[in-house]
Structure 1
């Protein structure tokens, strides 16, 4: 028995076929993004290694890691390429990176200034002792424990700044790997400290973001 015409319903699906130009543009866009994502991951990897190396040196370890990050940025500007990790992936990374680095360097400079001031003060008390015979040097030596406290405090502050910076960029590297479906094993990081979250070490001692 045939169904009445009023009871039949016809669903027409309109399928839009992309032309060759649109397909080519999409493929090119994916290729460009994939390439820039790779460069960004490489840049972030270098930041992690260089910052962790500075932290290791601060802790008294002998590190032969050399990576002039400022020179790399100047090289990119000279070639007309800006920092892909900062400008393409997340522009705020540059501000965060610079802020933390300045914070660490400020703490280290404070150590140098403190040592210089305390040294001058102790020297002055020695001169006073020699000239007047008054044991002013005892006052100068009494400041030595304060100097040790300042040095330890400033080093811990710098260490924390470097740690937070490295940990932050580890998470950023993980994010860019997941977002653009990169192979994490291709972006192994040289780490001198092993107290970071989100990484595991292979047999060669390099860290893989997990």
Structure 2
């Protein structure tokens, strides 16, 4: 592991807790209505039921989380479906270089989104997580407030707002496009080690 990954990013403080912050109402999971969509710059759109999603191979990895509200939590272990596993199900067009990861917001399955470059999400540290543990907690399902049944956890090179709760799909894009918070003035790139919090560096 790169030693830099264990450095506290500028403007952050370390916490052992996993604080809960989210936009809008907490999603109430209904398995019969749940659907995960792979779409955009692909040869054919794919829709997965909850059971189909849960049958996909699982990955376990330990990541650090850095929230733009200034807390950082190191060494949380997650179990989930790596984004690269989902790429095996769909033929992505060669010119697709970016994605938006969507999630529920106030009962809208595509109300929340976060944009990222696809190349940065090809490792085991880009997971749609269902379970977690840390030094103080044994394995447990993520709670509704943390994004149950699936929440995207991005690599530590992104602030945590890129981690869409109540995940519903991935849009593959030819060009970068602002997600929910990016449309409201937050950074498109969101690197915590460069303290890329807002689109205007003078904010």
- Identify the TM-score tier after normalising by the shorter chain: under 0.3
Name the TM-score, length of structure 2 as normaliser: 0.23
- Compare the two structures and name the one with the higher helix fraction: 1
Name the TM-score, length of structure 1 as normaliser: 0.23
- Compare the two structures and name the one with the higher strand fraction: 2
